[in-house]
Amino acid sequence: MIRVRYAPSPTGEIHVGNARTALFNYLFARHNKGTFILRLDDTDKKRSTDQAIRSMVEDITWFGIDWDEGYLKGGDYGPYSQSERMDLYNHYTDILLKEGSAYELHYTDEEIKNIKEQYEKSMKTFSYRKVKELEGEARVREFKEKGLTPAVVFKVLEDKEIVVDDIVRGDVHFNSNEFKDFVIRRSNGIPVYNYATVIDDALMNITHVIRAEEHLSNTPKQILIFDALKFPHPYFAHISLIFAPDRTKLSKRHGATSIGDFRRMGFLPEAMFNFLALLGWSPKDGREFFTKEELIELFTLESVNKAPAIFDISKLKWMNHKYIVELGKEILCTLAMPYLKEAYPDIKCDEKTLLLVDTLRGNMNVLPDIVKLSEPFLTGLGFPEGEEEKNILFDKDSIKVFKYILENIENIEFKEQKINEFLDGLKEKLGLSGKKIYHPLRVALFGSKSGPELWKIFILLGKEEVVQRIKFVLEQIKKTSN
């Protein structure tokens, strides 16, 4: 059975790159009816806080990803937090030491750092093996007497050919001479990432390791550890990096970069899910909009691209807009309500507000847009400042329309059909084109010649407010004309 994992370090919010990695693992597992596992690389105790873990779980759940096994759910291969697996790491470290595939180094991390700096100053090549040769029995004895824990270094065999059989990139060749012995357990007793992840993947029967391209350089070292412990290799698939539009690696200088950021900005999880699925993967038919079920059905690692994926925020907004347009008005009102309530504490999802969000959805890219868009309906409207709008209002035909509305508004029943019948009748009664009627009314009531359908503007404002706004416009025209 296919078994994949997402193993974040819970030290902050999930970056979109990590979210995309989780998504590809999720889609691959679901497509193949396999198991998707969530485990925590939480050995950095200073940064792996309970709050960071809760935030990560909230974001990944909001995003639409659920897991079958692991953190909070349990399973047959736990524990699923690295901080709880130290005995396992130490067990396999003892095996490597016993078989001569690793050696202890009786220096603290700080001492090693100072030795490296001395080598760099003298232009000499540093290696752990050289430091080991200089160690001496006295140092070993002193280290033990102080109760200190030695670091453990993996011994790399020279001139060993290492081939990473990568599903996305094909065979990638390395030679062990490209890197030297490397630490697998620090002097504080904590295993390094390259070591712990091998133990976890092997013992949890992970069949496919799907992760970002930046981890490809770690893979040969991990393969050496797999081989030394006689563990079978998983399949590897290294997916492309995510770049900003300027072709540099996506970072905070480009704006929002975490799932939490986009969540707070008012993006919909369905849009984010769809958008990230297309960063580095594309279907054969070139479509851009998918349900979760369709993505699961179509996703394969063979369709993942090698080239960097471009994170285009304008495209994400466009896609989010499309999802907003398709929402039921009750759902949209519920989602928009937190933003509306911040500006208008007494507002609720009544019939009028449902019409409001339904009217404005076509101009929304993200949920908070509803606040600015709703201002013409929920706050007072001043006299337009734009020259085009002023010219429309001061036209003699516009004044004729305004006066006729005021004279006959009491006879208008404020329902869609009745309002439209009245407005259509103005063309014949006043001898004016639709443009000469609709543009001045929109400017007077909404502040712009383009916008929602007039019948919606009438109902949203209500009869009394329509009268007040038309009277205000006529008064301003009179003052300016005098």
Entry pTM: 0.90
Q: What is the mean pLDDT of residues 181-193?
A: 94
**Are 254 and 235 members of one domain?**
no
Total domains in the chain come to: 4
Return the pLDDT at 206: 98
> Considering only CA atoms, which of 172, 167, 228, 165 is closest in space to residue 195?
228
- What's the confidence (pLDDT) of residue 482? 63
Asked if residue 316 belongs to a domain, the reply is: no
Query: Could you tell me if 158 and 182 lie in one domain?
Result: yes
CA 389 – CA 403 distance, rounded (Å): 18
Of 189, 212, 239, which residue constitutes the final position of a domain? 239
For the chain, percent of residues with pLDDT exceeding 90: 76
Query: 410 in a domain, yes or no?
Result: yes
What residues pair up with 242 in beta bridges, in sequence order? 309
Q: Is residue 179 domain-shared with residue 204, that is, in the same domain?
A: yes
Domain that holds residue 165: 85-239
Answer whether residue 304 shows pLDDT above 70: yes
Q: Peptide bond preceding 79: is omega within 30 degrees of 0, i.e. cis?
A: yes
- Interatomic CA distance for residues 369 and 349, integer angstroms: 17
Check whether residue 42 and residue 62 sit in a common domain. Answer: yes
Same domain, 217 and 342: no
Tokens of 282: 């594309």
**What is the phi/psi pair of residue 237, to 5°?**
-145, 110
Report how far apart, in Å, the C-alpha atoms of 69 and of each of 9, 49, 75, 179, 212 are: 17, 22, 5, 35, 22
**Which tokens in the block code for residue 379?**
């706050």
Q: What is the pLDDT of residues 427-482, one digit of tens each?
A: 999 999 999 999 999 999 998 888 889 999 999 999 999 999 999 999 998 888 76
Q: What is the pLDDT of residues 131-155, one digit of tens each?
A: 998 888 888 998 888 999 999 999 9
Asked if 472 and 395 sit in the same domain, the reply is: yes
Assess whether pLDDT exceeds 90 at residue 162. yes
Residue 276 counted as domain residue: yes
Helix (H) or strand (E) holding 343: helix 329-343
Q: Indicate whether 287 belongs to any domain.
A: yes
Determine, yes or no, domain membership for 10: yes
Cα end-to-end span (Å), the chain = 84
What distance in Å separates the CA atoms of residue 264 and residue 11, rounded to the nearest whole number?
19
Stretch 276-293: mean pLDDT: 91
Identify the active-site residue in 73, 144, 252, 435: 252
Q: What is the pLDDT of residue 44?
A: 79
The question of whether 252 is a catalytic residue gets the answer yes
Same domain, 93 and 217: yes
* For residue 253, pLDDT beyond 70: no
| CATH value at residue 432 | 1.10.10.350
Closest residue by Cα to residue 365 from 310, 311, 322? 322
Both 350 and 399 in a single domain?
no
pLDDT of residue 408: 93
Q: 393 and 360, same structural domain?
A: no
Q: Is the pLDDT of residue 255 over 80?
A: no
Domain shared by 190 and 234, yes or no: yes
Predicted confidence at residue 123, as pLDDT, reads: 78
* Same-domain status, 215 and 272: no
Helix (H, G, I), strand (E, B) or coil at 1: coil
At 64-78, the pLDDT tens digits run 999 999 999 999 999
pLDDT tens-digit map of 404-430: 999 999 989 999 999 999 999 999 999
Does residue 268 lie in a domain region? yes
Q: What is the pLDDT of residue 256?
A: 64
| Nearest to 382, CA basis, from 457, 452, 451, 473 | 473
Single out the residue in 239, 261, 285 at which a domain terminates.
Answer: 239
Q: With 80 as the cut, is the pLDDT of residue 26 above it? A: yes
Domain end marker among 193, 208, 239: 239
Cα distance between residue 69 and residue 4, in whole Å:
10
Residue 476 lies in a domain: yes
Domain harbouring 41, CATH code: 3.40.50.620
Interacting residues of 291 by C-beta distance below 8 A, sequence separation 6+: none
Based on the domain organization, do 77 and 94 belong to the same domain? no
Task: Give a yes or no: residue 321 inside a domain.
Answer: no
